[in-house]
Structure 1
Amino acid sequence: MNLKPPSSSPLTSNSNNPFPATHSSLTLHWVSSPHYPSSISSPTRLRLLATANPHTNPTSDLSLATTAAAAALPNEDQKLLTLLRQRKTEEAWTAYTQSTHLPNPTCLSRLLSQLSYQNSHSGLTRAQSIITRLRNERQLRHLDANSLGLLAVAAAKAGQTRYAASIVKSMLRSGFLPHVKAWSAVVSRLAATGDDRPALVADSRPDTAAFNAALNACANLGDTRRFLKLFDEMPEYGAEPDVLTYNVMIKLCARVGRKDLLVFVLERILDKGIALCMTTLNSLVAAYVGFGDLETAEQMVQAMREGRRDLCKILRDSNSNNSKSSLIDGDVFEKDSNSNNSKSSLIDGDVFEKLLPNSVRANDCEPPLLSKAYTCNSRIYTTLMKGYMNVGRVTDTVRMLEALRHQDNSSSHPDHVTYTTVISAFVKAGSMDRARRVLAEMTRVGVPANRITYNILLKGYCQQLQIDQAKELLREMADDAGIEPDVVSYNILIDGCILVDDSAGALGFFNEMRTRGLAPTKISYTTLMKAFALSGQPKLANKVFDEMLNDPRVKADLVAWNMLVEAYCRMGLVEEAKKIIQRIKDNGFHPDVATYGSLANGIALARKPGEALLLWNEVKERCRVKKEGETSDPSDPPTLKPDEGLLDTLADICVRAAFFKKALEIVACMEENGIPPNKTKFTKIYVEMHSRMFTSKHASQARQDRRIERKRAAEAFKFWLGLPNSYYGSEWRLEPIDGDE
């Protein structure tokens, strides 16, 4: 697609400095902390004077290439890496075959990934030749798990099941845990053929690391039952729980809201004689921050600063104080309320009694002491700072940064994560000038900002509608800091252009992103579609969507389809929108509330009440809950949970069109779903548009007979509104209504 912005809004692009994007590379994004409850007890002041160790960014070990490493590469490797970053796989293969030496691990992994991702016979053959060469030279250790997993998937899709299984088994022997997609591709093929399945299972006995990965998935889902099942299976395979296992258990407690059990996880680690790590202590601080209990988090940090070992006692005391506060505030469950939650709590309680048997007999023993005193590192301080940031305590965040900055030991000074947290706090508070001063301070003290830092600032400027400053920051990011913007940077800028109603600017950034060699993501396409949809250009939105469908690196999801429906509905083009919805169904998706909501708004704009009736019939059928024993077809769409916007729009259309029977059905659906109908609005519509309905004295008898049913529905609707009606006298009409005598 050759999309170009109008000449009136030219956007400069730097084509001489392309930034690579490969479909196979591992992209690490900054994930902001979740929103925590705002009901937090009065914070205590934390006196920060102790030293802290520098926090090493864990993502640095996962990056596929760094600027410093790239600078040290031989010329041939540098050329090969550049071609791979530009996704010129054919030229990269030629450079590889002509290389006089074995390329470095980064080049090999990326080349193998891109060849495997082609899903072609030639690409797979070339990828296999790389494996053969490395095996012969005993250099297979140069490849990473991502590239090997992609090769296994490609081989499985090509029908080479044995080869794919051998790759997976080789990964297991090397200590790599294959990605779930690699597992699925290989195991599904083995299940179909029956070949080699026992050998794969025999070589796949999980160790502690494998169990930890599975337990982590259960913790992320909050699945306590499955967590317990896996935890109980560990001894059967000779896998002993380690400190990471209990760190994951801390996450599980946080996920299911069991703050009272955090201390018992720590005590269980001490009881079993497992050596604590700083990650455990940071996980505890993060858990209390997540619960909004900054007071306990501060007490933990303060105790560590003072060299105390009685953290378990501090956490137990916190539990006692919270229990007393709950009783005082009346925060107790009644027998007949929240029965489902009570059952869930009982089930979780049974699970945790088995996971943490020490929690049952907690009152029978004194809380244990840590084996030694632990000193806070910058990671723990940063976690607490994020807690301050989330509740808007910007002053405390800055005060902590200042305290860390003035530590005697230079190794305990704040790192780029700490500074980025402070910048994020200022951005959240809308103080962009102070955020920029922190960025300047990072440069002054020699702490390099990274792409995440600049993306946070870019988002702040866009939220403040300061697009010009965002463009200037993008230039500084690339030219002065030497940090090339990534696809996230451009997605932020495209979204910022939407906020100022600049679809041409959004298109300009999209094209500039591709000029730099960055592959658009689903978010990129969908955001650009949103820009055209909001500016009333559905054909351009459709053109972007068509290109998204033709891009093999992305797969259109329901969000993208809905944006296309929204684009047409905003112009009242109902028929075109209905065709898109039919395509949604043909592609295996089911319209959701957003789809129907956009269509309802389009129908209201086009003033086609008949279409509203058809839409309501479909929505009503989707909202119907199947009765017990009623069989369901797997192809049936899932039950729909309507929202206020959809039902209110449909009710509005029906009331204006005098479809009172359908209007009553819709408001009944609203009340069933806990949505309060806007009676004031509907009363105003009725009085303005229908107050003199059925008052004609010259209508024929046949016409009057046809109006009986509509009249009965109108009276029922007036009764629901609380207006005078035939059910209890009328100040509009004192004489009896026909049929009431």
Structure 2
Amino acid sequence: MARKVPCLLTHRRSSSSTPEIPSLYSFLQPSIFALKRNPSVSPEPTKLPTSPPRSLTPEQITTLQNTLHKSLISSDTDEAWRSFKTLTNNSAFPTLEGSCRDLESVSDAEKVVETMTVLGVRPDESSFGFLAYLYSLKGLAQKIDELKFLMSGFGFSNKKEFYCNLIQGYVKSGKLASVELTILQSLKDRDDKSWNFGEETYCEVVKGYLQNGHIKGLANLIIEAQKLEPSNTVDKSIGYGIVSACVNSGLSNKAHSVLDEMNALGGSVGLGVYVPILKAYCKENRTAEATQLVMEISNSGLKLDVETYDALIDSSMSSQDFQSAFTLFRDMREARISDLKGSYLTIMTGLMENHRPELMAAFLDEVAEDPRIEVGTHDWNSIIHAFCKAGRLEDARRTFRRMVFLQFEPNDQTYLSLINGYVLAEKYFNVLMLWNEVKRKLSADGQKGIKFEHSLVDAFLYAMVKGGFFDAVMQVVGKSNEMKIFVDKWRYKQAFMETHKKLKVSKLRRRNFRKMEALIAFKNWAGLNA
């Protein structure tokens, strides 16, 4: 493979005393690591042209190639550069990428490298990447070792592009053992970024293994990689990249097969393998399977982050898989996740929107005493309101009692929901019982916990006028006067006329003198005696 060095290069080696520097051409001649360059002779290093391609005829291309060749032999670097620039402005010319990637020709690649060296064109990381692809494809291990050495000589420390191209070449040639060795070697050589391959590389790796039915090989690769990776690199691990590539290629079943194969091999499974599968289940609304996998993760001693839990619970609630959401939240609490607020609100809101107050009550009862969750009176109010709206007054009353037992103080919204529920069911006596409770609280604590404002006054007055509890009506009127709350008498006059139009004071006088006095007082206050 060694090529005879042009006389120009030989002359430079003998005539200059400057220190030797790495040259991309040197790997073509293993006996020469560095070429000496005479600044007085060599043109200034120039970057490859990047102007848009233009159309050249085959005859023009042949002429330019011949001119370039003759110029190199005659040491006419100016003419060589002009020919090279013209050719590289045309996409048909087999430049380094074209020679390596399209033509896959070692000899053509060497010609381009030789030309670059003579013209002083400095190689970049892509140059080494193209050659790495070609040499891995052709199985030229010695050349690959020389490339690594040269990269260090040129000061390239980030070998990500180099390794990506190596892997792609090995995959294309079906050398899966070399793929695994290269990936593991990249982990040993890594800096902060070089081992974090892109999705394209992982997809090619997955495709190469799966086309050969080699799921076990993928599993083994992940197991071996985990031994070299830091434990805190979940989304940058080899396992994460491979399983994500399966998922993103629409092969979620293959991703789980890799997981199963890892378990069969007795290898430890890191979070990097689990997380992409969980995300896929979440996206596909396979929440029951996701929950089962979370249990498996927890049992293995691994700990998911709060974002993963939140996403899974949100997906479960969106799918109305409430039991999975409850199970996930319970596991979240047992895993000692400190931030439970997001998922707690997701569950409560979802249950409210789906009109499931009984599940809200059970869930709230379970978590109410957890100090990480800020349960407040408003949470209980939401449940009571939902029960009342659905006409489930006994459940509302039971929730109210549970709320008080757990020392959550009812407020005006609590009582408003209950009053409205009782009015809809025409259970006015229950409203009277609520008024007696509120009256005691107002007498003992003033307005502590209860805002005795117009809305609550209105609800009590309307309900008790409809129920005919005029003594209590006047108590509410007296309290509202005391607290200077405006009351619209017309509304209650209408309620009286709708319900008690035929009620006579003379009848009450014979039966209950106190009720008669309360009725007269109400009618006088409402202006009904006129």
TM bucket normalised to smaller: 0.3 to 0.5
TM-score for the superposition, normalised by structure 2: 0.36
Q: Looking at CA atoms only, which structure, 1 or 2, has the larger radius of gyration?
A: 2
